[in-house]
Amino acid sequence: MSAIGNFFRRCWRRLRGWHWLIQLAVVVGFLVGITALSFWISNIYAFWDDAHDRGAPSAIAGNDPFGDTVKRIVYLGQGDGNTPDDQNWTPSDSLWFDNVTQGSDVIPYDFFLVLEQPDGSLLRSDANMNGGYRYLPRHATTNNPDALPVGMVKDSYRGRDFMGLTCAACHTGQIDYKGVGIRIDGAPAMSDMDGFLDDVSHDLVLAGKPGKVHDRFVKNVLALGRYKSQKDVEDDLKIYTLRLITYRIVNHSQTDYGYARLDAFGRIYNQVLQYVLNVPDLRAALDETIADGKITQAELDHAGITKLLNKFESDGHGGKKILNGHDRDQLFEGLAILHPKQFFYLRNRIFIQPNAPVSYPFLWDISQHDYVQWNGIAVNSGLGPIGRNTGEVIGVFGTMDWSRGGWSITGFFSGQGLFNPHPIDFSSSVNIHNLGLIEDKLKSLWSPRWPVQYFGALDRRKVEAGKAIFDKTCAICHANIDRSDPNRRVVAFLSAQSKIGTDPQMVNNAVKYQGYSGILRNTYVDIGPGSLLLDEKAPAAAILTKATRGVVATPGGDKSLIRGFFEWLYDVIFSLRSNDIQGSMKTGNYAPDTTQAPLASVVAYKGRSLNGIWATAPYLHNGSVPTLYDLLLPASPKPGDPPDTKYRPSTFTLGSREFDPAKVGFMPTKISGASDADPCPIAKRPAVTCFVFRTDKIGNSNAGHEYGTRALTDQQRWDLIEYLKSL
């Protein structure tokens, strides 16, 4: 016994020598526990909202400008088929997804509540949100007291409230049929974000002009009690008007997006290029503009730009200054004095053309994919989903409070070296915690089943006949899966654009677009098969990758140092622990990445399992085909086609949510006075009533993906559609 006692005494003496380490571990464990507890409590509140109707109004009142009639709204269960009511997402789940903030700060919240359209109506009214921009209306609920439409929310950052966008703004759909509005979580939205943001900028300009509208705007904002004086309101009005106008100019495209589409990557690239821009790169762009004879030095001096460039040249530490939001506001205010043509020419030197709008992807099974995005550019393993979602928040007006900081461990985690004395501090409004929760919650979102109670039962004979065609022609790229298997995996089959033949604009932009690397110059980023050193100009995709990794590696910008670090540590551990996807090679028929062409594999489009495809019109990555029936037609005539051959439409209207259960897509918009020559006779904002999709525009081609379409009989097309409905 004495030997055993001596053993434990020796162990205790050794442990006493490590008492400081034990104490540290206890403190760290306590702080992590407190962080986990606080998140657990906040999550209980976040899911507290459980209105049985999920905030949907009993009907959409008023005359719908698209001719749709909605007398009641329902949600599909979207379950796995194993629960009694086939409902996995409860009302509280849908309401949480609709309202969960991600760090998007478009404009001050009070501005959004009172902002007016030119006709005097509130911008946020249901008539404008639903009738003009196709955002889904909601009534007030616990976590949405101001009855904002689906996808809009109050986001708080550094003690201020903003109107922000949530994932639901682009990924909650509604299909109308015979007076019933069927809302589907994770489905593509019909919303027109481009038009909405354009009109926000116009309405801010209107509110800033002296007169009754301005006076009423200031009075209504002050009445909400969060601004102290008229000057405070007018100062912010000036700032956010300039920012939204700049955004509109920077992202101007010769291709109209219309409903259900957005060039998200192009706009995210431009936001990042704006944040990394520094004075040397801006000088280089201005020098090129002067050399081209588009602007003179005297004009720059007159606009005050030269003085500002000198002011922002150095950060005081021997490095290049990182422009903060106030600095950029001053610079763009000076640039706004230039002639619009000069501003546009300079824009083309710094930013890219976002001319490749794509359909909003549907979200079911996204957490089970190996690679995501239309071209498979985003890996889904490890912290990949958080990085992907961080890029999305940057694109929807996340606040980037980047600065040159002192030594920190996050500087090492963001790839800036362990002994860098002045690394970039990537503080931001991005809510890493909620991004992790969103990705985890989407694991339980199943694809919607064909609702026989509304559309009628499927013809089993046609389903079986269609399955035989699918297995022979389609299954090689669109593998079927067991949608009810909680451990399912979805392998993205990537087909080179040159082989599939669909519109090349999106994948070409992803590879070819370059921009000034600015404050990230001479840093390294892992991309493709190796590590890329960012030169003065670098691939926009590489700059985005580096920036998002920096943001992910940095604790929340509105938290104290200790709290921010432990919350960040908890979020990273949670995200890694909850993600079962591991790194793997891509599958398909594509060009491999090489050290010479590190992004070659993304010049491809992804084929995925087609469960729920019936709820995702319009089709192809760019939304250029209105229905599944049209997708099974050849795109254009070829020699030898019979004279009665039908082809995909070269133009069609978008905006109506009225469903065609036969062809599987949305019905043409019903507009009074419309004709083939003028299908949208009164398409003027704010009374937007439809959008004409023209396949001859850049990024809009409906070519490609014609596998076997000419060999199919019309009956075979209907059989194949019936099978696709069943998935």
Question: Which pLDDT tens digit goes with each residue over 559-581?
Answer: 777 777 777 877 888 788 888 88
**For residue 164, what are the β-bridge partners?**
153
Name the band, by pLDDT with cuts 50, 70 and 90, for residue 212. very high
Name the band, by pLDDT with cuts 50, 70 and 90, for residue 222. very high
**Tokens linked to 424:** 């970039």
pLDDT of residue 564: 76
318 or 686, which is more confident = 318
Average pLDDT over residues 294-302: 90
Average pLDDT over residues 228-234: 97
CA torsion angle 208 211 213 217 (round to 10)? 60
pLDDT of residue 117: 95
pLDDT of residue 312: 87
pLDDT of residue 575: 84
Pairing between β-strand 424-425 and β-strand 537-539 as defined by DSSP bridges: unpaired
Query: pLDDT tens across 342-362, in order?
Result: 888 888 999 999 999 999 999
Name the band, by pLDDT with cuts 50, 70 and 90, for residue 555. confident
Name the band, by pLDDT with cuts 50, 70 and 90, for residue 262. very high
DSSP H or E stretch at residue 691: strand 691-694
Q: For residue 648, is pLDDT > 50?
A: yes
Centroid of chain to Cα 302: 39
Percent of the chain with pLDDT over 90: 63
pLDDT of residue 261: 96
Name the band, by pLDDT with cuts 50, 70 and 90, for residue 686. very low
| Least trusted range by pLDDT, from 79-93, 179-193, 299-313, 432-446 | 79-93
Name the band, by pLDDT with cuts 50, 70 and 90, for residue 67. confident
Return the number of other C-beta atoms located less than 10 Å from residue 303's C-beta. Answer: 19
Cα–Cα distance for residue pair 648/637, rounded to 1 Å: 10
What does the mean pLDDT of the chain come to? 88
The answer to whether the beta carbons of residues 200 and 107 sit under 8 Å apart is yes
pLDDT of residue 685: 45
pLDDT of residue 66: 83
- Kindly list the distances between the CA atom of residue 337 and the CA atoms of 184, 277, 309, 333, 334, in Å, as whole numbers in the listed order: 46, 20, 16, 7, 6
Centroid of chain to Cα 31: 33
Q: Which residue, chain included where needed, has tokens 């009225």?
A: 658
